[in-house]
Amino acid sequence: MKKLSIRIRFTAMTIGLLILCAIGLTIVTNYSAGKMAAQIATVTTPAMQVPETIPIDPNQLTDNQQSMLVTQNTEDIEKNQKVINQFHLTSMFYMFIIIILGGIGAYYISGKALLPLAKLNKKIKTSTITNLSEKIEVGTTHDEIAEITLSFNKMTDRIHEAFVSQQQFSGNVAHELRTPLAILKTKIEVFNKKTERSVEEYTDLVSDLEKQIQRLSEIVQILLDLTSVDTIEDKEMIVIDDLINNILYELSSIANQKQIHFATSYQHHEVYGNIDLLYRIFYNLIENSIKYNGLNGQVLIEAMLNQEGQTVIQIRDTGIGIPESRQKNIFNPFYRVDESRSRSIGGAGLGLSIVKNMIEKHDGTVSVKANQPTGSCFIITLPNPT
């Protein structure tokens, strides 16, 4: 059975309400009119002219005189009743006219009121991946339908952005996987064309294969990390100071190669989280601050509490920095500020995506801004341990 539309149901409810109101009003009006007509008839009906010769005492009236009085009274009553009946019929006629006109008006008005909803329904039915960017016009009524339309437009924007991001992500994944595979294929083809092969050539081939396989393995592991579950297990209280000090010790050899100096400013700050994930977060950020720094540069790590009692860690470097127009994109998977520079340094452009993903799993945030006078400043905010 086909369900009735909102317009039909609204019209039916309006007609039902009109019927109840009209019937009630008609009953009250007719009742009041009947009583009023009786009162008017009693007051305004002229007395019958009785000749002076007719005795006042009814008992002294003759049969002919009594018949004249009864006939006169009966005619007056019938006349009044006829008028009342005519009023009843007229009021019922107009009652039906009002109900019919009210029903037609309700159907028309509901159609006009629900027109934006009909447009929204049509848009939803015809929405596909190719037309998600098209917007539905939001009415100026500022009612619930306008709010639903606005919410739908925002939802399609998010879906479209997610779809575009997914397409870019898939293309980047394919590109990152294709590069080492192409190198592997080329190396093997060149090796197979040789008729004679030395032990050194075998060793070089195996070494190249190991490097590319390692790169493939790292990319696959990073992709798994990006799609891992949102919950974190094995949480504990972690002293950020000790964690960062261990990372600085491990990265000291890399920093020494570029004569980069570390400076720290923190005093026993604790956070609640997974030590392995937090280690990867700060290792990645500090390693990047070394990679993209210049000779004789500096890396400053500060930890403090903000007004909400959250732990804020800032990692500053004196490198070449990130243009402001590109700062919002650096946490996107495979995004590189400078393609040639990133390729020469190494990496797949997934490090900061992993950092953002793991920080959000700790209910924290990460952002970046320009460091003064040069370089970048990454700001990590982690919730207060409870």
Domains by residue range for the chain, with CATH: 1-45+74-113 (no CATH), 144-226 (1.10.287), 236-382 (3.30.565.10)
pLDDT in tens, 176-207: 777 778 888 888 888 888 878 888 888 888 88
What percent of the chain stands above pLDDT 90? 13
What order do you get walking across the sheet with 376-382 strand by strand?
261-265, 298-305, 311-317, 376-382, 365-370
Q: In angstroms, rounded to a whole number, what is the distance separating the alpha carbons of residues 48 and 51? A: 10
Strand segments, DSSP code E, in 75-208 are: none
**Rounded-to-5 percentages of helix, strand, coil across the chain:** 65, 10, 25
Per-residue DSSP letter, 300: E
What six digits make up the tokens of 381? 């905010």
For residue 313, give the nearest of 368, 274, 234 by alpha carbon: 368
Higher-pLDDT residue of 75 and 353 is 353
CA neighbor of 283 nearest in space, from 238, 256, 250: 250
> Residues near 276 by Cβ (< 8 Å), separated by ≥ 6?
234
Residues 122 and 26: beta-carbon distance below 8 Å: no
Residue-wise pLDDT for 296-349, tens only, equals: 999 999 999 888 888 999 999 998 888 887 778 888 777 776 655 545 555 556
Q: Which amino acid is at 30?
A: N
* Nearest-angstrom CA–CA distance, 82 and 290: 107
The model's pLDDT over 220-272, given as tens digits with 9 standing for 90+, comes to 776 776 666 556 677 889 999 999 999 999 999 889 999 999 999 887 788 88
SS3 298: strand
Q: CA angle, 166 as apex, 161 and 171 as ends, to 5°?
A: 130
Sign of CA dihedral 226, 230, 234, 240: positive
pTM reported for the whole predicted model: 0.54
Q: Confirm if 312 and 305 have CB atoms less than 8 A apart.
A: yes
The four Cα atoms 208, 214, 215, 217 give a dihedral, to 10 degrees, of 150
Q: How far is CA 349 from CA 54, 219, 323, 328, 334, in A?
A: 125, 10, 17, 14, 4
Confidence of residue 93 (pLDDT cuts 50, 70, 90): confident
**Residues in a beta bridge with 355:** none
Maximum average pLDDT range among 75-84, 91-100, 301-310: 301-310
